[in-house]
Amino acid sequence: MSSFEKFGAVSRRAVLGGLAATALMASSSLTLAADDTIKVGILHSLSGTMAISETTLKDVMLMLIDEQNKKGGLLGKKLEAVVVDPASDWPLFAEKARELISQDKVSAVFGCWTSVSRKSVLPVFEELNSILFYPVQYEGEESQRNVFYTGAAPNQQAIPAVDYLMNEEGVERWVLEGTDYVYPRTTNKILEAYLKAKGVAPEDIKVNYTPFGFSDWQTEVSEIKAFGSAGKKTAVVSTVNGDANVPFYKELGNQGIKAEDIPVVAFSVGEEELAGIDTAPLVGHLAAWNYFQSLDTPENKAFIDAWHTFTGNDKRTTNDPMEAHYIGFNMWVKAVEAAGTTDADAVIDALPGISVPNLSGGYSAMMPNHHITKPVLIGEIQDDGQFEIVSQTDGLVPGDAWSDYLDGSKDLIADWRKPLSCGNFNVVTGKCGGAG
């Protein structure tokens, strides 16, 4: 080999070595850049039947992350939102959750609305040991180590709503109208047991389910009207979800069903859903939540002002699941700060006992069963799409993971603190039934 050839070989090796070193440095810089942020997953439907309800939850999460970054971030790092669209497709929720945790390396996920979407992702969060904050009312009968339930359990919404109708409105006949999936079916199973325990005859309870996105309500509403014509005060307890609520309420108006005749109390209709319909015929119908935009507190006023500033639209409403994300996000921040890390196990252990302000003027606490304390509010629909609060609990109601009215549940408790660390501990047998 000539001197020139030796020089060329050495030069090529030097160049290739230099390129490799540069590539390694670039890769290290990217890793460092990624490590400089804490990623937060947002798993809400931005298309499909549930977009009417879930899109605003994506927006409020972006606002909360932006506000936290303005405060200096978390653990000295900026928060970075990672948004995905599971498109109201329940199996896709699991796929997108796995993507957020495995590929995007998020530290926690805020998401889901329907119980079927939550059930879809549970195995993923358990397998990959990540954290989900679930912000929507649900049927209970669950306590999973990796999930924190910031929406209402049945004893924080469904049971108090029935009590209000029974005690304040004198209701004796009950239509349990729901979308056909796990949340309405389980909630209505609990409500049926509760009503019968209160002395309501089986023939005074009518249960009906319709598919997601259902739009042809004429027959169903006619049957409700007929059921309510038996001479007993009748009410509808609605677990209808998503965009099916728009034609449902329109048909109630079309058939002249007024609140003073057959009141409807809804568990999935808030300010966001009412923004899409003419509310004039619905004035006086009810909703049961743990928050309404009409709450007159300094905390709520500040939240609404921040929301309008962030969205640039003072007509954008707030609602209950938004407050649940507000509470859950602030709990997560506080737990991460207490743990000094975003490590899932450390944060999961730190969360029980964490207390943060809610928007009603008090503090909500995370309990050992991974549910929170909440006030219960009943609101009447007004012609401007807002709610006048007609009933409010004196204090906060602790969320009950397991119903006192179902035979398979009334002996169960959940407590994820050590040494119990169980989501379904049977107080009679003294045994843990599994992961919960």
Q: What is the pLDDT of residues 132-150, one digit of tens each?
A: 999 999 999 999 999 999 9
- Check whether 245 has a pLDDT greater than 90: no
The DSSP code for 100 is I
Q: What separation in angstroms does the CA of 196 have from each of 173, 203, 344? A: 11, 11, 43
* Residue 23 CB partners (closer than 8 Å, separation 6+): none
Average pLDDT taken over every residue of the chain: 91
**Which of 21-25, 174-178, 424-428 has the least mean pLDDT?**
21-25
> Which of 289, 269, 311 minimizes the C-alpha distance to 359?
289
Q: Per-residue pLDDT averaged across 253-265, rounded?
A: 93
Tally Cβ neighbours within 10 Å of residue 13: 10
Tally Cβ neighbours within 10 Å of residue 220: 18
- pLDDT of the residue at 277: 74
- pLDDT of the residue at 272: 84
The share of the chain scoring above pLDDT 70, in percent, equals 91
Residue 434: pLDDT band with limits 50, 70, 90: low
- pLDDT of the residue at 250: 87
- Asked if 332 and 347 touch (Cβ cutoff 8 Å), the reply is yes
More confident residue, 302 or 241: 302
- pLDDT of the residue at 303: 98
- pLDDT of the residue at 274: 85
CA 341 – CA 36 distance, rounded (Å): 13
- pLDDT of the residue at 97: 98
- pLDDT of the residue at 21: 40
- Asked if 274 and 381 touch (Cβ cutoff 8 Å), the reply is yes
> Which of 156, 163, 154, 181 minimizes the C-alpha distance to 49?
181
**The one-letter amino acid at 249:** Y
DSSP three-state, residue 382: coil
CA 49 – CA 172 distance, rounded (Å): 33
Over residues 5-56, the pLDDT tens digits come to 333 433 333 333 443 443 333 433 333 344 789 999 999 999 999 998 999 9
- pLDDT of the residue at 6: 34
> Burial of 314 by CB count in 10 Å (0-12 exposed, 13-18 middle, 19+ buried)?
exposed
- Check whether 321 has a pLDDT greater than 60: yes
DSSP three-state, residue 406: coil
- pLDDT of the residue at 246: 84
| pTM (2 d.p.) | 0.87
- Check whether 212 has a pLDDT greater than 70: yes
Q: Per-residue pLDDT averaged across 321-339, rounded?
A: 98
- pLDDT of the residue at 243: 85
Q: Give the residue carrying structure tokens 């707030």.
A: 318
